[in-house]
Structure 1
Amino acid sequence: MKRWMLCFVWGMIFFQAPVVDARDFLKEIEAHYSEGKIDDALEVARAFAEAHADSVGAHGFLGTLYAEAGQLDAAVAAFQKVVEIKPGSVRGYRDLALVFARQGKISQALSALDRGIGQSDEPALLLAERASLNSDLGKPREAIADFEAALKRRSDFIEAYQSLALTHIAVGDTLSAIAVMDRGLAANPDNVMLMVNRGGVFHALGMTQQSFSAYRQAVEAAPEDPSVYRALGFMSAEVESLDIAQTAWEKVRDLAPDDLEVRDALAQLYAARGNFDASIGEMLGILERAPDGNLVRFRLAEVYVAKGDIAQGKTELLTCISRAPRWIAPYKRLALLYLGEEKVDSAGVIYEKALAIDPKDAEVHNNLGFIYSARGDFDKARRAYETAMAESKDASTLRDAQGNLDIIKSIQAGKMRVRHILVKTEIEAQEILNKLKAREDFAALARSYSIDPSKENGGSTGFFSKGDLHPDFEAAVMKLKPNEVSGVVKTPLGYHVIMRVN
Structure 2
Amino acid sequence: MGYLLGVLVLLPLWGCSSSSQVEPPKVTQPQPTSLVLATPLQVSYQSELALARLGQMLGEMELTPEQRAELFYERAVVFDRVGLRSLARLDFNRALREKPDFAEAYNFIGVYLVQQQNYDEAYEAFDSALELAPDYDYAYLNRGIALYYGNRPSLSISDMKRFYEAQPEDPYRALWFYLAERKLDESTAMSHLRDHLNKHGDDAWNWDLVRLYTGQINATQLMGSVVKGVKDNRELAERLCETYFYLGKFELFKGNRKEAISYFKLALANNVYDFIEHRYALLELELMARKSPPPGSQTQSEQSGKPAAL
The TM-score with structure 2 as length reference comes to 0.50
- Structure ID, larger Rg: 1
Q: Which has the higher contact order (CA 8 A, sep 6+)?
A: 2
Question: Which of the pair is proportionally richer in helix?
Answer: 1
